[in-house]
């Protein structure tokens, strides 16, 4: 089998074919996939009925996987698997049912935010022959690169707070997130550079999201709020985005430094959507 990298035609995203992820990959094959990932920022594989074990084995090649602390995060058997789903069993949601209501990057409120997320579609809702629940991705490296020089200068050295609480309040404060936040040792907020240098490809990335970014350190409140809104809007301009239309058995991986994402809730509660996510832990952020 030959691995092929097929860019989506959007600023970010590429489909990878010719790699059987149910089998261990050679170092050469993995190196090709890894390079494509850091080049295209979002990659996806289609039509592979992976098991949880396959997903864990493959995504762990990118780095150490995060293990979840709480049993309520519904990993069933594997602490590496975070369940994203609207399915309710015996009156209890089996996973996070409101993930991605707002544009965000995963784990932004952690001192060491996630480096990579990988989401695998087990069940995808559909209507009239089209699958629903698309995920939107935006390239924060492309959004930064397109800023005028004067803005790049203005952003130099700025730090911003990424707040779990803001996210919770803005999304209505429900679900598993609320449970996590209520625990005494929950991670609540982290301060990160507003412009991050990507640890692998060196690209400068805007680290500002509608969901998590709550204030810019040292700026008056009004100015901080306006700048956050302006930069968050810059990131999600259509020219910097790719919309993933899911099919069952897709595995989509995204870079949590150089992209942000949001979900679409355009399907009824009665239509089951089931995703399993693994995340690669990140290091300290740099500017």
Q: Which does 114 bind (CB under 5 to 8 A by kind): ligand OGA, Mn ion, none?
A: none
**Pairing state of beta strands 14-17 and 42-45?**
parallel
Closest approach of Cβ 277 to ligand OGA, in Å?
5
Active site residue 277: yes
Q: Which does 193 bind (CB under 5 to 8 A by kind): Mn ion, ligand OGA, none?
A: none
Q: Which does 135 bind (CB under 5 to 8 A by kind): Mn ion, ligand OGA, none?
A: ligand OGA
Interface with ligand OGA (CB under 6 A), residue from 106, 210, 250, 255: 106
Lookup: tokens for 58: 């493959």
How many other C-beta atoms lie within 10 A of the C-beta of residue 70?
13
DSSP 218: T
Stretch that binds ligand OGA, among 20-28, 34-42, 99-107, 214-222 (CB under 6 A): 99-107
Active site residue 136: no
Q: Is 184 exposed, middle or buried (0-12, 13-18, 19+ CB in 10 A)?
A: exposed
Q: What CA–CA distances, in Å, run from 200 to 8, 186, 203, 216?
A: 22, 29, 8, 25
Under a CB-based contact definition with an 8 Å cutoff, are residues 242 and 42 in contact? yes
* 3-state secondary structure (DSSP) of residue 261: strand
Footprint of ligand OGA on residues 235-264 (CB under 6 A)? 261, 263
Catalytic residue among 104, 167, 203, 262: 104
Closest CB to ligand OGA among 18 and 173?
A: 173
The residues carrying an active-site annotation are 104, 106, 261, 277
- Residues near ligand OGA (CB under 6 A) are 84, 99-100, 106, 117, 119, 135, 261, 263, 275, 277
């Amino acid at each position: 089998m030959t691995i092929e990298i097929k860019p989506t035609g959007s600023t970010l995203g590429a489909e990878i074919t010719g790699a059987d992820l149910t089998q261990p990959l050679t170092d050469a094959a993995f190196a090709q996939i890894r390079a494509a990932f850091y080049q295209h920022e979002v990659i996806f594989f289609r039509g592979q009925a992976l098991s949880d074990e396959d997903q864990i084995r493959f995504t762990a090649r990118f780095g150490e996987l995060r293990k979840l602390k709480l049993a309520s995060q519904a990993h069933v058997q594997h602490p590496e698997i975070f369940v994203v789903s609207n399915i309710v069993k015996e009156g209890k949601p089996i996973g996070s049912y409101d993930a991605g209501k707002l544009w965000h990057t995963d784990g932004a409120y952690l001192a060491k935010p996630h480096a990579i997320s990988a989401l695998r579609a087990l069940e995808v809702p559909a209507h009239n022959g089209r699958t629903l629940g698309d995920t939107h991705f935006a390239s924060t490296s492309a959004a930064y690169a397109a800023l005028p020089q004067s803005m790049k200068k203005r952003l130099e050295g700025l730090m911003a707070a990424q707040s779990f609480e803001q996210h919770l309040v803005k999304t209505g404060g429900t679900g598993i997130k609320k449970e996590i936040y209520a625990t005494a040792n929950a991670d609540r907020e982290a301060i990160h550079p507003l412009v991050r240098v990507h640890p692998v490809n060196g690209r400068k990335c805007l680290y500002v999201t509608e969901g998590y970014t709550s204030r810019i350190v040292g700026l008056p409140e009004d100015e901080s709020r306006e700048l956050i809104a302006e930069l968050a809007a810059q990131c999600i301009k259509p020219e910097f985005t790719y919309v993933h239309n899911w099919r069952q058995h897709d595995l989509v991986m995204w870079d949590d430094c150089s992209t942000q994402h949001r979900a679409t809730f355009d399907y009824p509660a009665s239509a089951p959507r089931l995703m399993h996510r693994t995340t690669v832990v990140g290091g300290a952020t740099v500017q």
